[in-house]
Amino acid sequence: MYWEIGKDISEKQEISKWGSKFIEQTALELKHEFPEIKGFSRRNIYAIRQWYKFYSKKYQFVPQSVAQIPWGHNRLIITKIKNIKKAEFYCNETIKNGWDRDTLEIQIDKKLYNRLDTADNNFIQTLPAEQSKLVSETLKDPYNFDFLGLHDDALEIAIENELTKKTEQKGDNTQYKKLGRKQ
């Protein structure tokens, strides 16, 4: 329904005169026509038009992945993403992972698309989704030991042991002094 509304608004707004308050009038008419449906505020009508114009550059009909996510998710994507390929990526990831809007926003802000798109590997093509994501994330962050399931104490001991090994290999006792330990 939003696709058709966005299409109608875009077409009619192009022929309406500047200052005719076309969007405001449309919002009032839609509220009157569909009183049981919320979402026809002036602000949301602008968002519907923006959403339609964004995807209609590439599609004649609303893409399936876009139609499958909640409207709030769609609004978030079109306000933060200006590339259709990236937008579709986030729609698909939302569906696949069952993200709520806050999680989607975090993934967009952390630039998940860029991290996965520029990977120098074929994990996405060769591994199941969850495993490819885990492997990709692990390799991108050399200090990410989450996959080991270690507690903070175990991680601290592992780092200390690594420093000790490096110090012993160099024959240097400066690391011991930094750690406040005796040789």
At 101-114, the pLDDT tens digits run: 999 999 999 999 98
Note the pLDDT of residue 29: 87
- What is the domain partition of the chain in residue ranges? 1-62, 150-183
pLDDT tens digit string along 32-57?
A: 888 888 888 889 988 999 999 999 99
pTM (2 d.p.): 0.59
Residue 147 has pLDDT above 60, yes or no: no
Between residues 161 and 56, the one the model is more confident about: 56
Residue 133 has pLDDT above 60, yes or no: yes
Give the dihedral sign, CA 73/76/80/83: positive
Q: How confident is the model at residue 17 (pLDDT cuts 50, 70, 90)?
A: low
Residue 161 has pLDDT above 60, yes or no: yes
Q: Which of 40-49, 70-79, 173-182 is least confident?
A: 173-182
Residue 85 has pLDDT above 60, yes or no: yes
The phi and psi torsions of 158 (rounded to 5 degrees) equal: -60, -40
